[in-house]
Amino acid sequence: MSRPSPGGLVAISTSSFARADRRPLERLEAAGFRVRLSSRGRRLRPEETIDLLRGAVGLIAGTEILDREVLAACPDLTAISRCGAGLDNVDLRAAAERGIRVARVQAVHAEAVAELALAGILALLRHLPAADRGLRSARWSKPMGRLLAGKTVGLVGLGHVGKALVRLLAPFRPGLLATDPSPDPAFAADHGVEYRPLDELLRASDVVSLHLAYSEPVHHLLDRRRLALMKPDSLLVNTARGGLVDEAALAEALHDGRLAGAYLDVFEHEPYQGPLTGLDNALLTPHIGSYASEARAAMEMEAVENLLEALS
């Protein structure tokens, strides 16, 4: 398949592209490409993705599904650049068969996601959402919280984001447990992290934070059985990928008091409208892990450069 020359059309499906910084968009235009932005403001459905990609040679992709059927309906497409690290939404085999090059950004988002995970942990421990709701409802009620200092934090996944969170946690002096398919013994030794099997980590941790990439083998990794292993006063945090947690089972555990609280920034189906929205001990945000302006601008610029390289 021949590669397109400048002057072709590039589609951008991410809902907030260039909101933090227009330079990534200007870089594409300076390279001679026309740009088509999504106006949906949310994750695209397959038919909407196909419509956006009509005539496009390149795509800066969000989390929309890019499966065999979608790619087959976009014959002009030659390159996909994910504005993110995960590729679970892209059928890589189908892309390779069609000669479509696929790239992703590396670790520029790690600090932003790690800081959000830490914010969620602290907000749950000190009951900030409940305190805010009470004050706005004219209730001067003071919820009794807990310290993060001295707690045991279990990290399910110790890649770029997990390691960034470990560094942020250092002043709190927690016990640190981790499980990861590719252990890094040197990092663990330097930062006091002890590797444990997943079930042991869940039993021992006061806070469990997920930092794994999604794939079918880890679908509902934290299912009803594994959630039951966690301490009743423990917290669960997921800023990684929806689908890692059985959300229905989590809602039951939170409702019944078998878990103290959970913070989720990602969901199996987005936008999320499930039972967790009715629980006061569930803190929910709309997939904003990378939505710090500095991190977002860096991600978008890297995604643009990756796409230009793939298209050249």
Q: Which residue has the tokens 């870089």?
A: 27
First-to-last alpha carbon distance for the chain, in angstroms, is 13
169 burial (CB, 10 Å; 0-12 / 13-18 / 19+) is buried
**Among 89, 77, 95, 19, which Cα is nearest to 300's?**
19
Q: Which residue has the tokens 């663990």?
A: 188
Q: Catalytic site residue 200?
A: no
Q: Catalytic site residue 194?
A: no
Kindly tell me the sign of the dihedral angle through the C-alpha atoms of 126, 196, 158, 253: negative
Which of 241, 247, 300, 302 is catalytic? The answer is 241
Please give the full DSSP string across 47-70, using - where no structure is assigned.
Answer: HHHHHHTTT-SEEEE-SS-B-HHH
CA 121, CA 236: separation in Å to the nearest integer?
8
List, in sequence order, every beta strand (DSSP E) within the chain. 9-12, 34-37, 58-61, 79-82, 101-104, 152-156, 175-179, 193-195, 207-210, 235-238, 261-264, 282-284
Which of 127, 226, 287, 296 is catalytic? The answer is 287
Task: Kindly report each contact of residues 28-31 with a partner whose C-beta sits within 8 Å and lies 24 or more positions away, as own/partner.
Answer: 28/304, 28/307, 28/308, 31/6, 31/308
Q: Catalytic site residue 127?
A: no
CA 176 to chain CA mean position, Å: 22
Q: Which residue has the tokens 């279990």?
A: 154
The residues facing 264 across adjacent strands are: 238, 284
Query: Could you give phi then psi for residue 306, rounded to 5 degrees?
Result: -60, -40
Which of 26, 270, 294, 309 is catalytic? The answer is 270
The residues that are catalytic are 241, 270, 287
